[in-house]
């Protein structure tokens, strides 16, 4: 599995033609305590850069964007009862949604882990 990142602080991990998407540790730390997560419905077709989920914290509500185009497979059901899972495990169990990739070649437009770390170091 390969993991990619966006400058909007989403991570995407690809396994075959299915991608799991979440927000990065940097993003969850910036937001503070997560209080609610609005997830996309399964079956929804999304385009790259489209706002598809919302993460609300004690500080603000933030859109989460689709890193690539695809069709939503599922939202993380664990977040309905435990949205704070995004804070405690943002880059593992706190994933937000899974999608089936429309065009795997679009992954080349995203950052690898080293490039993302360099990007956030400049913020």
Q: What pLDDT shows up at residue 115?
A: 96
For the chain, the residue count is: 123
Cα–Cα distance for residue pair 72/18, rounded to 1 Å: 10
Q: What pLDDT shows up at residue 85?
A: 97
Q: What pLDDT shows up at residue 1?
A: 72
Residue 42: pLDDT above 80?
yes
Residue 103: pLDDT above 80?
yes
Q: What pLDDT shows up at residue 44?
A: 97
Q: What pLDDT shows up at residue 2?
A: 84
**Are the C-beta atoms of 97 and 21 separated by less than 8 Å?**
yes
- pTM comes to 0.95
Q: What pLDDT shows up at residue 38?
A: 97
């Amino acid at each position: 599995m390969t993991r990619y990142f966006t400058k909007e602080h989403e991570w995407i991990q690809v396994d075959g033609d299915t991608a799991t998407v979440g927000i990065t540790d940097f993003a969850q730390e910036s937001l503070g305590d997560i209080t609610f997560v609005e997830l996309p419905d399964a079956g929804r077709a999304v385009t790259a850069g489209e706002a598809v989920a919302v993460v609300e914290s004690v500080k603000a509500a933030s859109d989460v964007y689709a890193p690539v185009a695809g069709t939503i497979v599922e939202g993380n059901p664990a977040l309905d009862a435990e949205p704070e899972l995004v804070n405690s495990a943002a880059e593992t169990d706190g994933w937000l949604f899974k999608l089936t990739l429309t065009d795997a070649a679009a992954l080349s437009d995203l950052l690898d882990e080293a490039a993302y770390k360099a990007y956030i170091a400049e913020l």
